[in-house]
Amino acid sequence: MRTGFGYDWVMITTLLGSVLDHDSWEIASFVVTVVGLPFGIAVFLYQQSRERRNEEAEIYQRLSSEYTMFMRMVLENPDLGLLHKRSLVAGETPRELSPEQAERKAALFNVLVALFERSYILVYEDRMSRETARLWQSWEDYMREWTRREDFRAALPELLNGEDQDFAVHISRIAREESGRATPSAPR
């Protein structure tokens, strides 16, 4: 007997019941439990791992896009001298910026610190997988590059007010390490 949605389930179970006796159902149940359940768990764990990797890649891609947008803003403001890897030789007198230039430079540094903080919160972990560590290393390289700049290091304490405490400790440590590596200004 057919219903609107297919065969009548009572009829199907009656037919299956007459074909399979109780012992056959028990064996089939055992096979599903022993083989199917572990297989299902393995598939679930694999999918979870793949989703986690995809999420990490998406986060990294979004952050990379934001850094690219930041660098576009730097390119749009060449008068600020931010395209040079180093701002000054130690002891050199800084180039005088107009109040408007100083404000734009401070705003760009604020954007950069916010981006670094976001990358720290979203990517950094005390115990990182090999892939996460590889993704994080590029952000740490960016932080090291910027903290070699004397002007950025000088602005950093004020920029870190209100930021995540762990991030502030992390970038401050990097700034201390990089302050000894600062070298003369050179075009990128």
Residue 4 parent element (H or E): none
Neighbours of 150 (CB within 10 A): 19
Quote the pLDDT of residue 14: 65
Q: How far apart are CA 102 and CA 81, in angstroms?
A: 11
Q: How far apart are CA 118 and CA 170, in angstroms?
A: 13
The structure tokens 């302050």 sit at 179
Q: How far apart are CA 185 and CA 104, in angstroms?
A: 20
**Cβ-Cβ contacts under 8 Å for 60 (sequence gap 6 or more):** 123, 135
Please give the model's pTM, rounded to 2 decimal places: 0.68
Query: Can you say whether the dihedral through the CA atoms of 72, 163, 146, 86 is positive or negative?
Result: positive
Query: Can you say whether the dihedral through the CA atoms of 101, 106, 107, 113 is positive or negative?
Result: positive
Quote the pLDDT of residue 121: 92
The torsion defined by the Cα of 81, 167, 163 and 143, in degrees rounded to 10, comes to 10
Neighbour-count burial of 17, counting CB atoms closer than 10 A to its CB (0-12 exposed, 13-18 middle, 19+ buried): exposed
- State the 10-residue block means of pLDDT for the chain, 188 residues long: 59 63 74 78 78 78 90 93 65 75 95 95 88 89 93 94 94 92 48
The structure tokens 């297919």 sit at 6
- What the block records as the tokens of 44 is 């679930």
Quote the pLDDT of residue 186: 37
The structure tokens 């004020």 sit at 158
